[in-house]
Structure 1
Amino acid sequence: MIFTKLKLVNFKSHENTIIDFEKGISVIVGENGAGKSTILEAISFALFKQHTAKKIDDLVRNNADSMTVELEFSSNNREYKIVRNKKSMLKSSIYKKTSNDGGFVHICTGDKEVANEIRQILDIDSDLFLNAIYIRQGEIAELVDKTSAEKKELIAKLLGIDSLEKAWKNLLPFISGYENQLAELKGKLFNSDELKEEYSKKKAELESLKDRGHELEEQIEDVTASLKDISESKRNMEREKEIYDTQVNNLENEQKTLAKLENDKHVVQENLDKISEAEEKITRLDKYVSKLEVYLDFEKSVTSIQRLKKDEEEINNKLDSISNQKAIVNDKKEEYNKFLASDEEINKLNNQKLNLEKQLATAAKMEKDKKELLLHIENERNDIEDFFSRTKDKLADFGLSQDTLAEVEHFNQIEEVTNDYIVEVAESIEKLSGDILSKKESLVEFKQNIKAAQKPLEELNEVDNKCPVCQSDISSDQKKDLIESYESTISENEKLISETEEDVRLFNQNKESFEDKQTKLQDLSKNIVEYKQKFVHLEDDVVKLNEIDENLESKEYISNKLGELILVIARERDAKESYKESYDAYVQAKGALDVLGSETESQYKLNQIKNEIDNHVTNIKLAINQDPHLSGDISPGELQDRIADLKQKNEEFNQLKGFV
């Protein structure tokens, strides 16, 4: 894996930093607190989302609302880019370059998806990366202090030896299985001669079975030919039997037909005698049957004339009603129109009245809103002034100078000095972190010095007059001087360790104090932003209060206008009431005309009825001319009796015709 480019936007102390890594070794140099470690932390954050802050929000630069880290690198001759962007939430994406000249193509998005993709690309996890590639400040001493077994384990992990051992263990079951199969195959090959002999026997048996099969196929062909001849003879015999059965059935049917014809001859003769008798009766009834239709037409015309006379009378009454209703409509039309105009004017005035009443109701609500708004403005102003005063006191307690606070008069100034103070505290924290790291490195050096002196000191105590370094002979005084020198070195380094540890404790104590102050200042900065917004809202409320005062000035004019409008509506309602009777009469007459229908249509129906009456009178005259017994004076009872008698004769006539 080779890093090619790193871009940081609002990441801790880096506001907008772009680093292009050239080929070869890159060295990052800078003062304590300049952001060297932050670059390595950004790489760790981009790859594995690993960081040293308490939470991701702490990685965002002060006074910034978003943060972005982009890392470009190559692995296995392929180029990739990781982007982690923090706004309201952290969004992670990874891209791959398809060609040298092409751009990056999106692969996936999401913490889990990106982590899985990185693990497949690099074939390492975050722990291995932190141990092998990225060693944090202060961890070199920890690596030096590890035991031989721990160092061996770490080096094996770095070189992939542990993976090879694991792969070898996993291969052992497969190797064992293949060895078993090899032994089994060798055993089978050992008996190969017996298998060949058995194969020859089986092959001979197969040839014998094939010969027997050919013989059986020839026998089957002979049997099939004999069966075909027998089937043909059977079909011929069945055809002859069918012909014989058909002739027998035909003879029996001819005998039955002859007997039936003899019986039908007698029946037909009897029917001929009855038909002759019926024809004589038909001749006698024919003169009566022809008169039935004349009598029925006569009765139908008389009944129709009676019904049409009633319809004629109803239509004449309807025409009279239509004429009367039309006269009412014409007479009341003018006052009807005045009623509608008055009603329309009242509706118009009522709409104006409703609009004025809404305006009055709005004004009343405005007065209520004004009281509530005044109270709200007063409370907000007191709260803001109290917060402003308390904030300046807190800043003074946190160590901000009184001269600086004396010049602060509004929210923009207090926000600016607070953010500047946060940056100052952050720089102090970063400086203390560098001092602590430096002290810890000194501690490691002091401990190494002690170890370097303890070993020859122990050897001096175990040997007589021998130098532990060059193994040359030394005198007792020289040995004593060496012992005192080593003991002095140990004592001095132990003292330095004690002093340095105390310094580290004090530095940590100061750092914790500054970090606590930083947290409180950040919370205070957020509150300042919140109250700054409240101050803006307070100014908006003052503008809204002025608008309410302007709108309330028109309330008295609206009230007077409403009173005048109520009087006008009352007068218009009295005028409308005077036209009410004529309006009702007009509406009733129009409704009646709608029910009665068209006058022209009624007149047309009356003419049709008169024509039908004339036609029926003509039919009656024709009937009287055809039968002298009919006259215009015949009673209904006598007419019904004659028709009933004729119907009876007609029924008998039709029955006889049907029989014949």
Structure 2
Amino acid sequence: MKLLSLKLQSFRQHKNSSINFTDGLTAIVGPNGSGKTTIVEAIGFALYGTRAIRGKAADLVTRNSDKGAPLEVSMLFEHDDTTIRIERTLEGAELYLGGESKPIASGKTQVTSRISALLGMNYEEFIATFFTGQKGLEFLSGKNGPAERERFIVRMMGYDRLEKVQERLRADRNQTKQRILGMQAGLGSRAEIEERLKREEHNLERLKKELSESEQLLEKSSREAESAQKAFERVARLKEQYEKYEREIRDNSIRLEESRKRLKALEEKTARLTEAALDKRQKLGLREEQDIAALLAAKEQTFCELESKIKEMEESLEKARERARGKLSSSEAECAFIKREVKTLSARLKELKTLGAGNSDSVCPTCGQ
């Protein structure tokens, strides 16, 4: 960081001051109260705002300043081969790079944050390394002793933070050492560790073998479960066919009952007709008796045809019942077989679930080991 120029307006003793900093050492001399320390204070104010001032912010403004001349500090400096300009008042601040007319940051907080990022240090770090206040160099006289001088230099260079870090590192080292000792005590001797390692490797091989056998058993059980699922589906189809036959039997039973009712009605009607025919025979004589006989013969033929149809329907109904009974018997046998298979598979799957990789006491259901 290299200062180039500083302009102060209405800043404490400086109504309107301008300073250009040339290469080399710059010395500012003057009587007490002339504003020498104020120049250093203004540099801190330009960079970090009111955190760098002494006292209250209201005390910064020159008391007998010209009317209409607000407090303002403008500073130009170089950093990493880049020219930077800061303009700061009590109300706000602006930061410019190079000769740009548009600021890259505006506002007191934003400019302070951007300056801290550009310089790589906050206000506390700045005053501990590049800046010291009035009478801050009295330690060089040795009046307070070499120990005080050493503490001041350490604090100014930031070495006190390194000492704190070293203390924390030493504490961490001791804690880590204690943890290592505790772990070593818990692990035991090298021979014990190697013996445990051999046992664990043996257990690992045994578990791998059990896992392989369990996977084979699981694959077999999966195939059996798939077969059982197909058998279930076949039983479901048989059940559907059985229910279809049952519906057919109910429908045929209903039609048979209706046919019987019609037959009974025909029988009753035939009886009435026969009785009526006898009455007419007596009244009409032999000629009409022949007509009535022919009519009766036709009715009997119709009655015989109905009886034949009813008989056929009863035979068909009985055959349907026999088929349904056969299907039902076959379905019941298959259901019993499937239930036994499902029970066996459930027992095997339960055994598989009890085989845990971390359970060294597990017994393989196949080999019994």
The two structures have a TM-score, normalised by structure 2, of 0.51
Q: 1:74 to 1:258 in 2, by over 3 A?
A: farther
Counterpart residue number, 2:155: 157
- Show CA shifts across 1:275-320 (max 9, x none): xxxxxxxxxxxxxxxxxxxxxxxxxxxxxxxxxxxxxxxxxxxxxx
Q: Return the alpha-carbon distance in structure 2 between the equivalents of residues 41 and 229 of structure 1.
A: 96
- Tell whether the 8 Å contact from 1:12 to 1:58 is kept in structure 2 after alignment: yes
- Tell whether the 8 Å contact from 2:86 to 2:93 is kept in structure 1 after alignment: yes
Counterpart residue number, 2:127: 129
Q: Return the alpha-carbon distance in structure 2 between the equivalents of residues 147 and 206 of structure 1.
A: 76
Cα shift at 1:202? 1.8
1:147 aligns with 2:144: yes
Q: Return the alpha-carbon distance in structure 2 between the equivalents of residues 216 and 141 of structure 1.
A: 89
Percent identity over paired residues: 20
- Tell whether the 8 Å contact from 1:5 to 1:72 is kept in structure 2 after alignment: yes
Q: Return the alpha-carbon distance in structure 2 between the equivalents of residues 253 and 240 of structure 1.
A: 20
Corresponding letter in the other structure for 2:149: K
- Tell whether the 8 Å contact from 2:14 to 2:62 is kept in structure 1 after alignment: no
Cα shift at 1:204? 2.8
- Tell whether the 8 Å contact from 1:4 to 1:21 is kept in structure 2 after alignment: yes
Cα shift at 1:142? 8.4
SS class of match (1:27): coil
Cα shift at 1:145? 7.5
SS class of match (2:27): coil
List aligned pairs for 1:401-420, cutoff 5 A: none
Q: 1:211 to 1:135 in 2, by over 3 A?
A: closer
1:59 aligns with 2:57: no
1:6 aligns with 2:6: yes
Q: Whose RCO is larger (CA < 8 A, sep 6+)?
A: 1
Name structure 1 gaps, 5 residues minimum: 263-660
List aligned pairs for 1:224-623, cutoff 5 A: 225=227, 228=230, 232=234, 235-236=237-238, 239-240=241-242, 242-243=244-245, 245-253=247-255, 255-256=257-258
Cα shift at 1:44? 3.9
1:208 aligns with 2:177: no
Cα shift at 1:32? 7.8
Corresponding letter in the other structure for 1:24: G
Q: 1:108 to 1:151 in 2, by over 3 A?
A: farther
Corresponding letter in the other structure for 1:209: E
> Which of structures 1 and 2 has the bigger CA Rg?
1
- Tell whether the 8 Å contact from 1:82 to 1:92 is kept in structure 2 after alignment: no
- Show CA shifts across 1:214-261 (max 9, x none): 663575446864785686477447625632542443342464488699
- Show CA shifts across 1:374-405 (max 9, x none): xxxxxxxxxxxxxxxxxxxxxxxxxxxxxxxx
Counterpart residue number, 1:43: 43
Cα shift at 1:127? 10
Cα shift at 1:154? 1.6
Counterpart residue number, 2:177: 179
Q: Return the alpha-carbon distance in structure 2 between the equivalents of residues 126 and 251 of structure 1.
A: 107
- Show CA shifts across 1:325-371 (max 9, x none): xxxxxxxxxxxxxxxxxxxxxxxxxxxxxxxxxxxxxxxxxxxxxxx
The two structures have a TM-score, normalised by structure 1, of 0.32
- Tell whether the 8 Å contact from 1:72 to 1:82 is kept in structure 2 after alignment: yes
Q: 1:212 to 1:259 in 2, by over 3 A?
A: same
Cα shift at 1:68? 0.9
Counterpart residue number, 1:560: none
Q: 1:102 to 1:171 in 2, by over 3 A?
A: farther
- Tell whether the 8 Å contact from 2:77 to 2:84 is kept in structure 1 after alignment: yes
Q: Return the alpha-carbon distance in structure 2 between the equivalents of residues 40 and 104 of structure 1.
A: 27
Q: Return the alpha-carbon distance in structure 1 between the equivalents of residues 133 and 224 of structure 2.
A: 99
SS class of match (2:18): strand
Counterpart residue number, 1:23: 23
Counterpart residue number, 1:483: none
SS class of match (2:156): helix
Cα shift at 1:46? 2.8
Answer 1 or 2: which has greater helix percent.
1
- Show CA shifts across 1:613-632 (max 9, x none): xxxxxxxxxxxxxxxxxxxx
Q: What root-mean-square deviation, in Å, do the aligned CA atoms of Structure 1 and Structure 2 show?
A: 4.7
Q: Return the alpha-carbon distance in structure 2 between the equivalents of residues 216 and 6 of structure 1.
A: 89
Name structure 2 gaps, 5 residues minimum: 266-369
Cα shift at 1:40? 3.1
SS class of match (2:91): strand
- Tell whether the 8 Å contact from 1:53 to 1:59 is kept in structure 2 after alignment: no
Counterpart residue number, 1:73: 77
Q: Return the alpha-carbon distance in structure 1 between the equivalents of residues 218 and 61 of structure 2.
A: 97
Cα shift at 1:71? 2.0
Q: 1:82 to 1:256 in 2, by over 3 A?
A: same
Counterpart residue number, 1:404: none
Counterpart residue number, 1:578: none
Q: 1:11 to 1:230 in 2, by over 3 A?
A: closer
- Tell whether the 8 Å contact from 1:82 to 1:94 is kept in structure 2 after alignment: yes
Q: Return the alpha-carbon distance in structure 2 between the equivalents of residues 233 and 35 of structure 1.
A: 108
Q: Return the alpha-carbon distance in structure 1 between the equivalents of residues 65 and 165 of structure 2.
A: 50
